[in-house]
Amino acid sequence: MIKSAKRTFFNRSLERALKILCSFTLENREWSLSELSQSLDLPKSTVFRLCSTLSQHDFLRYTHATKKYRLGIKLFDLGSVVFASISVRKAASNHLTRLQRETEKTVFLGVLQDDQLLYMDKRDAPKSPIRFTTEIGTRRQPYFGVLGQTLLAYLPKKEVLRILKDNPLQPLTKTSLTTKKALMERLQRVRRQGHAIDSGEVIEGVGGIAAPIRDFSGQVVAAIGVRFISASEGKRKKEKLIGSVRDAAHKISLDLGYKG
């Protein structure tokens, strides 16, 4: 459903397809074509057409022996993405708070979703002279700042190039990375170091540090990072910040079942 200033639009076919998917519950795990038609008060031909399309994309699975439909593996995949995101935020919550109190910096938690950086959580620094407008739920370009670059760093090179093709590099400041070569070199350095650092690439005079969060399988599923005024942090302070961010990332990873 898309709302405009004048009127509301409905995609009837999509609405009917969603109703079909929502018909499946723990009590009703299988439906025949006739049962769905009767339950939804829709013609068999319409239900068949929609179910066929949903089956082609693995949202439904048709069993010839029983002549019934059940939910497909694609929904399990999507549910796993949602579950992982929720689990990461829950596991990270206390660590985000501790990191913010320890460093007195603004702290962010981000994941890659649909080829974009999605901010899952945030802790503002109450004493900071600047306020970051990025809020929970904000989406950015996948290479945006230390969080995006940390997440891209642990993807296969082919996947990174595909994402960059759809999301060309756009400079935000005079120090932003503007070429694929420069970004790929940065990503390689992030993997080698185990953390990302930038200085004024997103906001003039503002630096950032981020580190990867891994799940039980060892996969990088999120990134945690801090932002600060570059001029206020000398080399020793930045090294301490790196240690704090990496430590927080490691503790969150352990809470997600990481054994490394």
Instruction: Answer yes or no: pTM beyond 0.85.
Output: no
Q: Are 232 and 90 in contact (CB under 8 A)?
A: no
235: phi then psi, degrees, rounded to nearest 5? -60, -45
Determine the angle formed by the axes of helices 33-40 and 12-22, rounding to 10 degrees: 110
For the chain, list residues with pLDDT below 70.
Answer: 1-8, 129
Cβ contacts of 259 within 8 Å, gap of 6 or more: 216
The rounded distance, in Å, linking the Cα atoms of 48 and 60 is 12
- Kindly state the tokens that stand for 28: 């009703």
199: phi then psi, degrees, rounded to nearest 5? -140, 100
Residue 255: exposure state from Cβ atoms within 10 A (0-12, 13-18, ≥19): middle
The rounded distance, in Å, linking the Cα atoms of 120 and 136 is 5
- Bridge partner residues of 119 (DSSP): 110
pLDDT of residue 7: 57
Smallest CA-to-CA distance from 244 within 107, 109, 91 is with 107
- Bridge partner residues of 117 (DSSP): 112, 140
pLDDT of residue 260: 78
How many residues would you count in the chain?
260
Q: Are 195 and 201 in contact (CB under 8 A)?
A: no
Q: Are 150 and 223 in contact (CB under 8 A)?
A: yes
The rounded distance, in Å, linking the Cα atoms of 43 and 257 is 48
pLDDT of residue 234: 84
The rounded distance, in Å, linking the Cα atoms of 88 and 252 is 8
pLDDT of residue 132: 76
pLDDT of residue 112: 94
